[in-house]
Chain A
Amino acid sequence: MSAAQWRRAMNSGAGRTAWSRPPSLPARPGPAGGAIATGTAAGPVQSIVGALRTIGVRHVAVLLVVLVYPWIATPFFIYQIGGQALVLGLIALSLTFLGGYGGMVSLAQMSIAGLAGYMVAIFGIAGEAQGGASSLGWPWWIAVPIGVAIATLFATFVGWLSVRTEGIYTIMITLAIGVSFYYLAQQNYSIFGGHQGFNQLHAPVVLDVDFGKPVPYYYLALFWALVGYFFIKYLLRAPFGVALQGTRENPRRMNALGFDVTAHRVAAYAVAGVLAAIGGVLLTWYNGRISPGTVGVGAMLNILIIAVLGGMRHPLGAFIGAILFVLVQNFAIDVIARERFNLVIGIVFLSIVLFSPDGLLGLWGYVRTRILAGGVQPKIRGWGVGSTRREPARMRNGGTAADR
């Protein structure tokens, strides 16, 4: 996949329609040479200025809220709600990227995260495990990169195995991989420590800052969540991300255009794997331990639930879904007779999916267009982010125009 091909994708009708133009305008392929020339001449400065110009009051407000949050919240809310939501959101973001933009719903993201966590336990410092498994006791700054690297390799392998399948078969094969990993961790005693896993995995203490404490942990999680969020935002506008969305919409056409669809998809799995792996390391520090239960089928499905709840049409959906998920998980038991709290969780999740197929983001979009704007605006306009499921027909038209 050459850079020139990516640029061509960027400048093709599909990419333009998806990203910069209102979908109602006809897409015209610009002359490729010209685009490259402007890109190289004033590219970086212009793009930074452009990016700054799009920052509005709301962005600053949200950033302030998440930064100030630890000062107003109790340790419980900082750690168990805030920290956990950010980390689960980061793992769900990897699924949003794969599923929402690549069209590949992988259930194995939690397994990838869990593998990274296990690697940190095995290479790093952890308490004695059952059945002879023991940690190598290496410092965290060696163990963490190794863990992320191995998990990314695993993610690439998962992608390589599953990219040739579509839809439900992708779900099936990634489910199978995830369940296999669960049983491997469950029954392997010499490396993974079996049923009990690893205990006493403390987050590192760097420059006298103990990242196991609520406030430092929160900021650590926030840092990586922001990195993940902006990285995905950037990637989706980059040629690679645009080409990936092209493969989601019409793999055969992308193939005909000269793109290696399989390579793009495997690369997407690898990218998502890095995010999930970082999330997995953070999650392991959050729990202070890891065992097969962390990567069980329930945990794998939770990631899907978070992504779907928030909405898979924008990277932000993963984090919004995670916030709701964590709140409901923690407080449902206070709402109703305590033996029946799963009913609340089920009803909340079911009603969101039932009334808004695009999750909370979709719900908000609905409120904006239908109620706040009096139902004048067309449904799609506010959501022309390029990830819309309702748009394929239009995108195909754009693509057709480009081909002509």
Chain B
Amino acid sequence: MRATRAGLLGSALGTALFAVAIAGSASAQETIKIGALSNLEGPFAVPGVDGHRGVELAVKQHNGMAGGKKIEIIKYSSDATPDKAVAATRKAVEQDKVNIMIGPLSGDEGIAVKNYSKTHPEMVFVNGSSGAQATTLQDPSPNFYRFNTEGAQWMVGLGDVALAKGYKKMFLIAEDYGFPYSQVQGFMASYCAKGGRVVKKAWVPLGTKDYSSVIAGIPPDVDALVVVLGGSDAVNFLNQAEQAGVDKPFIGGSITVDQTVLNYKGKKRESLLGTASAGPMADGIDTPAWKKFVADYKAAFPQGFPSPSLFAYLYYINTQAVLLGLDAVKGDLSDNQSKLKAALAKLEFDGPAGHIKLDENRNAIGDTYITEVAKAPDGGFYNKVTKVVNDVSQTLGLPKAEFTKMGLGSRDVPNCP
């Protein structure tokens, strides 16, 4: 029985430690605590760090103050799983007593945090970079705000570009999860409506290494391929397509032909010239606001990326919105932050990449940039902006009833074989 005695004493000790660890609540109202949840571990650890940089940059540009009060940022981490995102958010809200919460990073995390936000209606939750459609379209939370557009909105206008290039029949290859579904819907909604046909879809698991069977299954009579893959998946596919002698042009998703992919070495790289893609931002935006954002980012983070990533940008605009909202109400968080909630709901501002306002579900209406891969004078490849689609709504420009009839993007929605 000695073991039991020892063990039980040990557990009593552990329980006593809990009680000691319960800290007092924060009462200093001169400081506004903002929790920033991103990913510091797991598959998105590298972009997650850049997300935190976006938050820091926005606060820094605001001189660390908003509404006359000092802003304190507390960083939190998840590993891209919803469980962990909610656990970190709960700790921030219930233990560390942050006033406002920013985050998380990925789509499924966003849905989970949105659901959690309903249990704390007294405070404001603002998205980080998550872009699932369902977050604000299904069962939205009255105190969850998203000042960035999402995956489907990022692809609006690309269908018209494909048709203008004369691609009447296309083959789709995309990863098999929520974000590509949204992207594909954003592309196909207008492409199908205007007479284009996606004759075959190949959904591959995230992290697929071997694309030979997919490549072998490309119908010979298609005009082009829609490729919605990211990171190493995109590089692997492009390499194998090159080796297999695929000579069809591509249309890319928002993260298919980003800098990491454009910098890979291979003959096929030359043939990527002219590949159209779309997104909420682009490296080659030629406005003073964007150039200032990039310059500030580079000055603040010499260790960061050569230019701010998508995640830095998204966290940046969401943080910027919070700070502007706090300015508007002079830092007044009384009465369950009702003034801040009202201010955020009607907030409109010009971010580095265009004008942003919210719809009735508190999701952003913003600009989408259509780009084309071009060669810079120094020989490097970059995404040149060819067209800006203004004020893209979450219903992709369709009337609400029509969009609801189509439903959210999935493997089979939309469909036009």
Contacts and interface: CB of A to CB of B under 8 A. Distances in A.
Interface of A: 54, 56, 58-59, 61-62, 65-66, 69, 72-77, 79-82, 84, 127-128, 130-132, 183, 186-187, 189, 194-197, 199-200, 287-289, 291, 293-294, 296, 298, 313-314, 316-317, 319-320, 323-324, 327, 329-331, 333, 338-339, 341-342, 360-361, 364-365, 368, 381-385
Contacts of A287: 82-83, 86
Interface in B169-224: 176-178, 181, 205-206
A176 to B, nearest CB: 17
Contacts of B82: 287, 289, 291, 293
Nearest to A189: B411
Nearest to B17: A327
B18 A196 contact: no
Contacts of B7: 314, 316-317, 320, 361, 364
B260 interface: no
Given A189-B411, A316-B11, A330-B91, A195 B108 contact: yes
B76 A333 contact: yes
A61 B22 CA distance: 21
A262 to B, nearest CB: 30
The B interface is mostly helix, strand or loop, or mixed, namely helix
A327 to B, nearest CB: 8
B4 interface: yes
Interface string B1-43: 1111111111110111111011000000000000000001100
A331 B19 CA distance: 14
Contact of B87 (A80, A130, A197, A323): A80
B6 A364 contact: yes
Interface of B: 1-12, 14-19, 21-22, 40-41, 49, 75-77, 79-84, 86-87, 90-91, 94-95, 108, 111-112, 115-116, 134, 138-139, 176-178, 181, 205-206, 410-411
14 contacts: A58-B8, A62-B11, A74-B22, A74-B94, A195-B108, A195-B178, A196-B108, A196-B111, A200-B115, A291-B83, A294-B81, A327-B21, A339-B75, A365-B6
A341 B40 contact: yes
B95 A195 contact: no
B1 A54 contact: yes
Query: Nearest 10 pairs between A and B by C-beta?
Result: A293-B81, A76-B94, A316-B7, A195-B177, A382-B2, A338-B75, A76-B95, A385-B3, A62-B8, A323-B14
Nearest to B40: A339
Given A289-B82, A327-B17, A382-B3, 15 more contacts: A73-B19, A77-B95, A80-B87, A183-B205, A194-B176, A199-B112, A293-B80, A320-B7, A320-B10, A320-B14, A327-B18, A327-B21, A329-B87, A330-B91, A368-B2
A186 B205 contact: yes
A80 B40 contact: no
A96 B293 CA distance: 54
Contacts of B11: 62, 316, 319-320, 323
A361 B6 contact: yes
B75 A314 contact: no
B83 A194 contact: no
A384 B4 CA distance: 11
A288 B177 CA distance: 21
Most buried by A among B10, B82, B181: B10
A72 B116 CA distance: 24
A65 B205 contact: no
B288 to A, nearest CB: 32
B144 to A, nearest CB: 14
Contacts of B81: 291, 293-294, 296
Contact of B94 (A62, A75, A197, A339): A75
B171 to A, nearest CB: 21
Nearest to A365: B6
A342 B15 CA distance: 24
Given A76-B90, A128-B138, A298-B79, A62 B12 contact: yes
Contacts of B90: 76, 79-80
Contact of A342 (B41, B95, B138, B410): B41
Nearest to B75: A338
Contacts of A313: 3
Contact of A59 (B8, B83, B91, B95): B8
A323 B17 CA distance: 10
A314 B6 CA distance: 11
B83 A368 contact: no
Given A187-B176, A383-B2, A58 B18 contact: no
A58 B9 contact: yes
A298 B83 CA distance: 12
Contacts of B79: 298
Contact of B4 (A82, A294, A314, A341): A314
Contacts of B206: 195
A333 B22 contact: no
A316 B112 contact: no
B2 A289 contact: no
